[in-house]
């Protein structure tokens, strides 16, 4: 009986491919072509997901900026103008002096921008509202793009110096 069974099993294996019981199709091991196709599909899905996330982030930023401009246009424009930097004429009009070591511990003896100590003979500029002191070169670079003190953020421009904003209604 064992011989008949081994003959039967041997003949089945030599006759052809093993048939799948559920589909009646030949079973074959997955080829490398199928695994490559699967990897390409997965890579495409990951790329699509990353692109969708990037697009979502960009659109959120655009909508937030547009919402701010539409809901608060005068305040937004005025705040942008207030801290947009000083003109060269306004900057040169700020008081300057030559630093001399006074020995007073109450005054700061370093520039908050470059973090270097003041030395005798350095040209320093005082900001009028807060009296903070900086090297002239350091603060001039800052004031070309900002209208506030880098230490305390007090604005140097007043709202009266701005040109008034008018809304034209048609």
Q: Give residue 104's pLDDT.
A: 62
Measured in degrees and rounded to the nearest 5, phi and psi for residue 169 equal -105, 125
Question: pLDDT tens digit string along 3-25?
Answer: 655 555 555 444 555 555 555 55
> Is 49 within the bounds of a domain?
no
Q: Looking at the predicted structure, is the pLDDT value of residue 136 above 70?
A: yes
Q: Domain tally for the chain?
A: 1
Q: Looking at the predicted structure, is the pLDDT value of residue 169 above 80?
A: no
> Is 44 within the bounds of a domain?
no
> What does pTM read for this prediction?
0.46
> Is 149 within the bounds of a domain?
yes
Question: pLDDT tens digit string along 142-152?
Answer: 888 888 888 88
Instruction: Select from 82, 84, 94 the least CA-distant residue to 134.
Output: 94
CATH no. for residue 121?
Answer: 3.30.40.10
Higher pLDDT, 116 or 106: 116
Residue range of the domain that includes 123 = 81-101+108-159
């Amino acid at each position: 009986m064992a011989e008949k069974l081994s003959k039967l099993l041997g003949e089945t294996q030599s006759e052809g491919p093993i048939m799948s019981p559920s589909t009646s199709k030949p079973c074959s091991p997955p080829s490398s072509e199928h695994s490559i196709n699967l990897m390409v599909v997965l890579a495409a899905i990951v790329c699509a997901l990353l692109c969708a996330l990037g697009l979502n982030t960009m659109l959120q930023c655009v909508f937030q900026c547009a919402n701010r401009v539409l809901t608060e246009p005068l305040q937004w424009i005025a705040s942008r103008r207030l801290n947009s930097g000083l003109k060269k004429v306004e900057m040169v009009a700020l008081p300057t002096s030559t630093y001399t070591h006074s020995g007073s511990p109450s005054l700061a003896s370093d520039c908050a921008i470059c973090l270097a100590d003041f030395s005798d003979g350095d040209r320093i500029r005082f900001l009028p509202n807060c009296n903070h002191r900086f090297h002239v070169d350091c603060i001039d670079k800052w004031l070309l793009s900002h209208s506030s003190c880098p230490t305390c953020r007090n604005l140097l421009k007043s709202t009266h110096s701005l040109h008034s904003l008018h809304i034209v209604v048609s």
